[in-house]
A = this chain, B = another copy of it.
Amino acid sequence: MTGDLLIRSVRPWPSGLGTAEVDVLCLAGRVASAGPDLEAPRGVAEVDGKGGVLLPSFTDAHAHLDSTRLGLPFRPHTAGVGLAELIDNDRRNWRSAEQDVAARATYTLGRTIAAGATFVRSHAQVDVDSGLERLEGVLAAKEAHAGRASVQVVAFPQCGILRDKGTAELLEAALLAGADLVGGLDPAGYDRDPVKHLDIVFGLADKHQRGVDVHLHDAGSLGAFQVELICERVAALDMRGDVTISHCFALSTVEEDRRRQLVDMLAENDVAVTTVAPGVREPLPLRQLRWEGVRLGLGQDGMRDYWSPYGTADMLDRTWQLAYRNGFRDDSLVEMCVDIATRGGASVLGETGHGVTEGAQADLVVVPGDSVTAAVMDRAPRTLVVHQGVLVAADGELLP
């Protein structure tokens, strides 16, 4: 039956099973049982985990599949400094890519899955120049990999809503065309009117009963003010659990007292946060956010695109990056990064039951390594990737 699979010789994490190798049986897409030398029910396929660590699959909670150039000839970086210049550089160049958005997004999503992520939230730029073209490309990639990963798509007003007249209507059209969430972008710093911007975003979300995911690079007190504006709308519209703030640099650029207020506010309104582990910006207060119960995910951001040459579509690479950038050496802290990159991100996407536990949806990844920390340091190709009990990739390669 679809979703039946016996995974031999793996060491599940996190688990109360100790560090010995066991077999894990998936039935009808769910984790059914685990133990030494399980007998395969008749007709159930077996795969060899080769003694690797079995983790919940990764979640890329913040991707930009519509801009990726992974797999294409490398292109020198041509953008100047600052957000506006990065936006304009992308606008000047994306149409001349060697492949269309659908082909590029499909390739990169495939690599993302082959590297062990089976939950993905991708933004897709919606603006008056490109209309829904980029969104449609990402939706095509989602469709192409429908049996391999659960993908959410955010209609993302990368050029602003108020600055780019006509975008509000396009965002609504995007929701009708298949986008799952409404996005936003620096309502104050970039779009110049935080209240009007957020009222449009939350108005659309409320009208169509969708979630919200806002890019908030604005830092310091201006960023903090917008965290408040977002939380006020979440409370007023009863959207607890449906809203994410991406980047949220405000959290690492205000004083500790103010930060504590913000974290409390996020927790109270069940607003999630995602980070991409940037190299220069101060890291988010990961432990504080988790301690207070804020759902927290990790994402790839853009991948070798018109914005940046970085990004490999490998969430284990990005997990290493999160650990390194935070200076974590203790195994428990490196493991916390893995938890953020797997179950944490899934909870941002609303998949609250993700994990290696009986009854959980069987979205799993097997990684070679003496321990979880060793696996993060080595970043070896994934032995197996499983989505809903179906083997979707092996030895780093996507299966047909």
Q: CB-defined interface of A278-317 with B at 8 Å, one 1/0 digit per residue?
A: 1110000000000000000000000010011110100000
CB contact under 8 A between A327 and B279, given known A74-B370, A369-B74, A370-B74: yes
A374 to B326, CA, bound (A): 26
Q: Classify the secondary structure of A's interface with B.
A: loop
Q: Which residues of B contact A304 (CB under 8 A)?
A: 377
Copies, count: 2
B77 and A278 form a contact (CB under 8 A) = no
A321 to B320, CA, bound (A): 11
Taking the complex as formed, is A329 at the interface, i.e. its CB lies under 8 A from any CB of chain B?
yes
A77 and B331 form a contact (CB under 8 A) = yes
A76 and B308 form a contact (CB under 8 A) = no
B310 and A324 form a contact (CB under 8 A) = yes
Taking the complex as formed, is A371 at the interface, i.e. its CB lies under 8 A from any CB of chain B?
yes
Taking the complex as formed, is A79 at the interface, i.e. its CB lies under 8 A from any CB of chain B?
yes
Interface residues of A in 64-82 (CB under 8 A from B): 73-74, 76-77, 79
Q: How distant is A11 from chain B, measured CB to nearest CB, in Å?
A: 13
Taking the complex as formed, is A102 at the interface, i.e. its CB lies under 8 A from any CB of chain B?
no
CB contact under 8 A between A310 and B373, given known A329-B79, A331-B76: no
Q: CB-defined interface of A356-371 with B at 8 Å, one 1/0 digit per residue?
A: 0000000000000111
A370 and B73 form a contact (CB under 8 A) = yes
B321 and A334 form a contact (CB under 8 A) = no
Nearest residue (CB) in B for A320 is B310
B325 and A371 form a contact (CB under 8 A) = no
Nearest residue (CB) in B for A330 is B77
Q: How many residues of A contact B (CB 8 A)?
A: 29
Q: Which residues of B contact A312 (CB under 8 A)?
A: 377
A327 to B325, CA, bound (A): 12
Nearest residue (CB) in B for A281 is B327
A377 and B76 form a contact (CB under 8 A) = no
Nearest residue (CB) in B for A374 is B74
User: CB < 8 Å: which of B77, B279, B330, B331 contacts A324?
Assistant: B279
Q: How distant is A69 from chain B, measured CB to nearest CB, in Å?
A: 11
User: CB < 8 Å: which of B278, B331, B371, B374 contacts A327?
Assistant: B278
Interface residues of A in 156-203 (CB under 8 A from B): none
B334 and A309 form a contact (CB under 8 A) = yes
Q: Which residues of B contact A331 (CB under 8 A)?
A: 76-77, 309
A74 to B378, CA, bound (A): 10
Nearest residue (CB) in B for A72 is B370
CB contact under 8 A between A309 and B326, given known A74-B373, A370-B74: no
A239 to B324, CA, bound (A): 36
Q: Which residues of B contact A370 (CB under 8 A)?
A: 73-74
A308 to B280, CA, bound (A): 22
Q: Which residues of B contact A310 (CB under 8 A)?
A: 324, 329, 377
User: CB < 8 Å: which of B308, B334, B374 contacts A329?
Assistant: B308
User: Which A residues are closer than 8 A to B by beta carbons?
Assistant: 73-74, 76-77, 79, 278-280, 304, 307-310, 312, 321, 324-327, 329-331, 334, 369-371, 373-374, 377
CB-based closest 4 A-B pairs: A74-B374, A280-B327, A74-B370, A279-B324
A–B Cβ pairs within 8 angstroms, 22 of them: A74-B373, A74-B374, A76-B331, A76-B373, A77-B330, A77-B331, A79-B329, A279-B325, A279-B326, A280-B326, A280-B327, A307-B329, A308-B329, A309-B329, A309-B331, A309-B334, A309-B373, A309-B377, A310-B329, A310-B377, A312-B377, A321-B324
